[in-house]
Chain A
Amino acid sequence: MEFFRYTRTFNFMGKSKMAMFLSVVVVLASYAILATKGLNYGVDFAGGTVVQVKYTSTAPIKVMRQALKENKLFTNASISEFGSPDEVVIRMKVSSGSVTRDIGDITREALKGTGEFTIRRVDIVGPTVGAELKEKGIMSLLLAVFGILIYVAFRFEWRFAVASIVALIHDVSIALGMVALFAIDVNLDVLAGLLTILGYSLNDTIIVFDRIREGVTKGRNVALKDTINESVTRTLARTTLTSLTTFFVVFTLFMFGGEIIHPFAFTLLVGVVVGTYSSVFVASPILLWFGFDVKNYHVKLANKVKREAEKQKMRDQFDGGIV
């Protein structure tokens, strides 16, 4: 079976302006959502308490609300269904410092008489830990981007690095926008999802870039634009295929992985789609716009080869005893 057989080059770069326009609109829309709706920080970053309760039959949410009302601690607590009608999650902005009697215990006492239930999960994150996790989270994103930037600059050229980082920012921005739009709880797992998107999207971008590098080094006197078009076309089958297989697994994770893994799977789902798009329509055009200088690159490559050859010659002479 074949999706794409390389017979002719598609003019991707000819469509790049339109694609760029689309990207800019979507990214700006994402920022607008982030600015107006904002991210829905979960307990990991905001601090607070999550209590997951499972009833033996449908959870009596109204009765529960009534029961919780009695204690001032639970003002602003939200109760929502979690995966099935039997199961609910109570989210609170408060946390507690006592080891022996924490909010989970107080919730258990407050819910007494609302039915037969078990408390299946209690997450309490104090404000200091929340702030710490947030700081660490932001640091990890920056550090990952920085590490990748250096590696790509080292392996390719700085323009490649910048182009791939722009693509990454594009992907992460849109993913965050979607997370905000669907009011997904932002916890550590969403952060892990974002970092995975970084890795994944970059993976795609690098495969395309590798082809471009290869096309350029082959030394044909072709305009960069055509080289890019050809490279993108030639890698199109791979890009589609890998995206599909990854999409399959992420989709099954999203559908069947359980409620807890949902935010993570959602983030990845968005990331896989956007990451695939960006490697073709964001990273490559930027490379073109930055005016990656093919001739200059050739000179550099030629110099490198010359230096290597000279070194080799010296080494041979040395080994042969002629200095």
Chain B
Amino acid sequence: MKLNYRIVIFALAIIFGITFSLPSLTQSEDGKKITLGLDLQGGLHMLLGVKTEEATKSRIKSITASIKHFSDRNDILIDGLSFDENEISFEVLDEDELSRFDEFFKDIEGIEVIKNMTAISLSLTSEEIIKTEKEAISQAIETIRNRLDQFGLSEPVVARQGEEQILVELAGIKTQKEEQRARELISRAAKLELMAVDEDRNARVYNMSDSDAAEYGDIILSDAKNSEIKYLVREIPILDGGMLTDASMGFDQNNRPLINFKLNAEGAEVFGDFTGRSIGKRLAVVLDGKVYSAPNINERIGGGSGQISGNYTVMEAKDLAIALRSGALLAPIYMMEKRSVGPSLGADSIQASFVALIGGFVLVIIFMMVYYRLAGVIANIALIANLFILLAVMSLFGATLTLPGMAGIVLTVGMAVDANVIISERIRELIYEGKSMHKAIEDGYANAMRAILDANITTLIASVVLYAYGTGAIKGFAITMSIGILASMLTAILGTHGVYQMLESRITKSKNNKLWFGIKG
């Protein structure tokens, strides 16, 4: 027996395989481990779309609100301030004051102003619309990520997929309730608006239709607790949630949960101005299109903080505070794809595929031993080493093991012995041809090499394509297949060659081809 470089590399590879696959196999606390895919551990996978056109609409609405505030603050009389999906229009009553708007417009990015005498119309430039839509997506990703980070699940995945889709993956969701909560938190617009109640007409609200209200520049909103109660509020909000800096859960005098919020300096100023002007009137606190409260304004409110009270449970209030704090979604999101797997199903899948893996493995091992005798044993050692290396590499890369990935491992077991089958057949042939043992082994490997390489590379091509075009769980299959193939080149070709070289003198001496290669002669 003598050592050679091949056997040394093989031994090192086995040590590497065992060392780095142990953390995954023993599920120890430390060390890099294979993560289980959502289909195996249970969890929620969602692909979300963003209704970006809503972002432009809300941008126009917020510009309108700032025009209103600007004119109120500077006592510029304007008339007919209104907006639709594309355009804001109004008229300045005093021609001399037209110029005062120029300075103001200069500070607003990406708008196009058309003046016709005293009538002004504003629209967003097309670049601005594209920019707003793009921002809506990145902002949605950022916001959802912020919200989920505070939700308390380990390692939520929120990523952009393609140009305008958002991938959300939540592992370890245990119950349906938890899933529901997560979905509500993600999709909540959390759009806070402070709006003025139209006190002149509010009494008639129950007799008004939406179009009646629109005529006065108002909209009808219903109460959050009791949808029978309606409010008539000015369509242009005083403030929106963009000026919110903080939100947290608190309790009122009766120990019911509520939400405290704070506005930034600009918001506080707008809020102060408005309340100062509107003493005796009501202010509607509107969240996602519902009126949560409409307190009377008794005095000018400075400092810029307020409350939202509703019939919340502590959990709801907490989630709402998270949603407000991480900012409103500029545009609503919708579901394009959802895959949710319960933890019990995941456990069943692990068990089933494990049984298949062990079953297939044992069959292959026994077959190889019966067919090739000691050559089969050597091939089996390579096969086991292959599995360890596969697990080790996956652990090191923190790769995800999915159900198709498990299938990939099972398949690797079947196909990894192929190299050894080819080599063993070649060696047998050469022995029959009467070659010396040394020549039979060396030529056997040399002859087999080309075929094995070509065959493996083509399989790799298919795997790589599968990885590039596959999604989610299928990627897992491509990963295990690819690593399995690469590892098999190391173990089945290099490793077993080393073993034969080490044992060569023994094999030659024994002259027992039946024992070593399972053939007579």
Task: Pick the contact of A119: B342, B461, B474, B518 (CB < 8 A).
Answer: B342
Report whether over half of chain B's contact residues are helix, strand or loop; otherwise say mixed.
Answer: helix
Task: Pick the contact of B466: A6, A123, A144 (CB < 8 A).
Answer: A144
Report whether over half of chain A's contact residues are helix, strand or loop; otherwise say mixed.
Answer: helix
A139-168 residues with Cβ-Cβ distance < 8 A to B are 139-140, 143-144, 147-148, 151-152, 155
- Residues from chain A with a CB closer than 8 A to the CB of B361 are 249
Taking each of B344, B360, B361, which has the highest tally of chain A beta carbons within 10 Å of its own beta carbon? B360
Closest to B361 in A: A249
Q: Are B415's CB and A242's CB within 8 A? A: yes
Query: Given the interface contacts A2-B519, A118-B342, does A268 sit within 8 Å of B411 by beta carbon?
Result: yes
Task: Pick the contact of A245: B341, B364, B458 (CB < 8 A).
Answer: B364
Q: Are A102's CB and B474's CB within 8 A? A: no
User: Is B138 in the interface zone, CB < 8 Å from A?
Assistant: no
Task: Pick the contact of A1: B333, B344, B407, B518 (CB < 8 A).
Answer: B518
Q: Are A199's CB and B458's CB within 8 A? A: yes
Cα distance, A125 to B333, chains bound together (Å) = 16
Q: Are B451's CB and A210's CB within 8 A? A: yes
> When A and B form their complex, what is the total count of cross-chain residue pairs whose Cβ atoms lie within 8 Å?
249
User: Is A67 in the interface zone, CB < 8 Å from B?
Assistant: no
A136 smallest CB distance to B (angstroms): 5
- Residues from chain B with a CB closer than 8 A to the CB of A250 are 360, 410-411, 414
Cα distance, A241 to B419, chains bound together (Å) = 11
Q: Are B459's CB and A6's CB within 8 A? A: no
Closest to A248 in B: B363
Nearest 10 A/B pairs, CB to CB: A258-B352, A249-B360, A140-B469, A99-B187, A199-B462, A249-B414, A210-B451, A199-B459, A246-B414, A252-B359
List 28 interface pairs A-B (beta carbons < 8 Å), by A numbering.
A2-B428, A2-B518, A97-B335, A97-B336, A122-B338, A126-B336, A126-B337, A136-B471, A140-B466, A140-B469, A188-B473, A192-B466, A195-B463, A196-B462, A203-B418, A235-B425, A241-B425, A242-B415, A245-B367, A246-B418, A248-B364, A248-B414, A252-B359, A252-B363, A253-B353, A261-B404, A265-B407, A268-B411
Beyond contacts A98-B334, A214-B447, A252-B363: 12 other A-B pairs, Cβ-Cβ < 8 A, are: A120-B342, A121-B341, A129-B337, A136-B469, A245-B415, A246-B414, A248-B414, A251-B360, A258-B349, A261-B349, A261-B356, A261-B403
A residues lining the B interface (CB < 8 Å): 1-2, 5-6, 52, 54, 96-100, 102, 104-105, 108, 118-126, 128-129, 133, 136-137, 139-140, 143-144, 147-148, 151-152, 155, 188-189, 191-192, 195-196, 198-200, 202-203, 206-207, 210-211, 214, 234-235, 237-238, 241-242, 244-253, 255-258, 260-261, 264-265, 268
